[in-house]
Chains A and B, each alone.
Chain A
Amino acid sequence: MKLPILTIIMTTIFTGTMLTMISSHWLLIWIGLEINMLSIIPILTKNQKPRSTEAATKYFLTQATASMLLMFTIVFNAMHSGQWTTTNIDPNNMIVSLTMIIALTMKLGMTPFHFWVPEVTQGVSLMTGMLLLTWQKLAPISIMMQMFTSINPIILLLIALMSVLVGGWGGLNQTQLRKILAYSSIAHMGWMMAILTFCPSLTMLNLLIYLMLTIIMFTMLNMNTNMTTLTLSNLWNKSPTITMMILISLLSLGGLPPLTGFLPKWIIIQELTKNNNIAMATVMAIMALLNLYFYMRLIYSTSLTLFPTPNNIKMKWQFQPKKRSLFLSPLIILSTLTLPLSPVLSTLN
């Protein structure tokens, strides 16, 4: 794609999300979401392959349906409450609270509207998939954080629980790395939304740590263009440092204790138990084990074992890597080693 057009489109993606995040009038929020959705379509079809076109079509259809449902809810809310602010939705209005949740979780890719996430992520390139799984989550989550007092908690907890289940079970049979990261995204969205009605600061915390981890995973996979587990198993020879970094980043993504990824899970379980939601916390913690299993399978084939290879692969002659990766080291450190900073959370409101 030519550089001026790419610049315009990237600027518009940024503008759309920013417009959604700074508005308090529902119409402007919807306009920001639409601008965002429309301008990411050419990014999805940048590859010019039929699979990318199919992925862009699926993305467009689901997001357009969600926007339509959101518009219906906005107009219904305006009709019944007479005002257009985000923070004053009446929680007793059952249609509004239900369809609002359905529209926003459809935008995020949570169960039962998760079917597009693995297929769209698989159909596009690694960096585009990263954009899809990180930047596109910001706008709907910012809307949900503005209106969290009016959300029906039962529906949201049900959707979050189902997302964690589907994210865990769905990723088990995958060897394609983009689909694994897509199911990981579904599960993490489930964790984020489970705590929204109780303490939205924790949603923000989980979102930040998830964003850092996903960006670092996609960047490291992009350095050698690894798309499958099979190519990952040859990574020990090509760049052993990336192998080690993938190990600790995947363990952090799975939520293992001395790493940063443990922090959101720990504190979400604590908040859930404080609100007497022990069953939900238990089920989500057990389902996180499924996530950890397929990350462990990746680590097993990448760093912990060496698959049998012919002898000429073992001595690899390599030139300097050409792919630039911004912020690789700071992001790795932030996403794996900042668990000792967790008391800082007591200073947040």
Chain B
Amino acid sequence: MVYAIFLLSIILVLGFMSFSSKPSPIYGGVGLIISGAVGCSIIMGFGVSFMGLMVFLIYLGGMLVVFGYTTAMATEEYPETWGSSIVIWGALLSGILMESLLMVWLLEHDGMEVAVGFNNLESWIMFMDKGFSIIREDSLGVSALYNYVNWFMVAAGWALFVSVLIVIEVIRGK
């Protein structure tokens, strides 16, 4: 299992292919779940546990569930699945081809450093004059949103609120 993260990254790319080839949204939702879960496992493997858990709970457990329910309500009579049209076959095959070429490059021509060479995602330990401190980028970043960059929190919340408002306004019709 030395290549755990590498294998997970291959599954990530295949999962992205499964919804980028644009089948009907309910099938794309399956691809999103798989690639989201695998992406969380990859970053947890690098040590960023807080971020992975947040994405799992909120993205997969909150947003994707709502997305799944809404696409189940808005599904069509003959949905396009992964083998149904030549367009989707073409997108899938070109994606798989490029992923295999990338795999060959990573394994044979010594390019693994690009794919799995992240080594500063865990905690930082700062040694100062008296004592030392531990800095974790993920959780300290979230808490910095509340004290150092208050205004950005407001702007981000406003942007999220306005995007929902815009979507509802655009589909309102007459």
* Known A5-B165, A8-B165: A31·B159 in contact at CB below 8 Å: yes
Q: Is the CB of B169 within 8 A of A38?
A: no
By secondary structure, the B interface counts as helix
- In the complex, what's the smallest C-beta–C-beta distance from B17 to chain A, in angstroms? 18
Q: Is the CB of B174 within 8 A of A42?
A: no
Q: Is the CB of A48 within 8 A of B155?
A: no
- In the complex, what's the smallest C-beta–C-beta distance from A205 to chain B, in angstroms? 31
* Known A15-B155, A19-B155: A35·B162 in contact at CB below 8 Å: yes
Query: Which residue, B156, B163, B169, has most C-beta atoms of chain A within 10 A?
Result: B169
Q: Is the CB of B159 within 8 A of A35?
A: yes
Query: Size band of the B side of the interface?
Result: 10 to 19
Closest B residue to A40 by beta carbon equals B166
Q: Is the CB of A9 within 8 A of B159?
A: no
Q: Is the CB of A12 within 8 A of B170?
A: no
B69 within 8 A of A: no
By secondary structure, the A interface counts as helix
Q: Which residues of A contact B162 (CB under 8 A)?
A: 8-9, 12, 35, 38-39
* Known A12-B158, A19-B155, A48-B174: A1·B169 in contact at CB below 8 Å: yes
A197 within 8 A of B: no
Query: Size band of the A side of the interface?
Result: 10 to 19
Q: Is the CB of A42 within 8 A of B159?
A: no
Q: Which residues of B contact A12 (CB under 8 A)?
A: 158-159, 162
**How far, in whole Å, are A1 and B158 apart by their CA atoms in the complex?**
20
Query: Per-residue 0/1 for B7-36: is the Cβ within 8 Å of any A Cβ (1 yes, 0 no)?
Result: 000000000000000000000000000000
Q: Is the CB of B169 within 8 A of A42?
A: yes
Of B152, B155, B170, B173, which contacts A41 at CB under 8 A?
A: B170
Q: Which residues of A contact B163 (CB under 8 A)?
A: 38
A45 within 8 A of B: yes
Q: Which residues of B contact A1 (CB under 8 A)?
A: 169
Q: Which residues of A contact B173 (CB under 8 A)?
A: 48
Chain B positions 145-174 with a Cβ under 8 Å from a chain A Cβ = 152, 155-156, 158-159, 162-163, 165-166, 169-170, 173-174
**How far, in whole Å, are A119 and B30 apart by their CA atoms in the complex?**
37
- In the complex, what's the smallest C-beta–C-beta distance from B172 to chain A, in angstroms? 9
**How far, in whole Å, are A45 and B169 apart by their CA atoms in the complex?**
9
Q: Which residues of B contact A41 (CB under 8 A)?
A: 166, 170
- In the complex, what's the smallest C-beta–C-beta distance from B69 to chain A, in angstroms? 24
Chain A to chain B contacts (Cβ below 8 Å), 6 pairs:
A9-B169, A12-B158, A31-B156, A39-B162, A42-B166, A56-B170
Binding site for A on B (CB under 8 A): 152, 155-156, 158-159, 162-163, 165-166, 169-170, 173-174
A12-B158, A31-B155, A38-B166 given; 19 more Cβ-contact pairs under 8 Å? A1-B169, A5-B169, A8-B162, A9-B162, A9-B166, A9-B169, A12-B159, A12-B162, A15-B155, A19-B155, A35-B159, A35-B162, A38-B163, A39-B162, A41-B166, A41-B170, A42-B170, A45-B170, A48-B174
Binding site for B on A (CB under 8 A): 1, 5, 8-9, 12, 15, 19, 28, 31, 34-35, 38-39, 41-42, 45, 48, 56
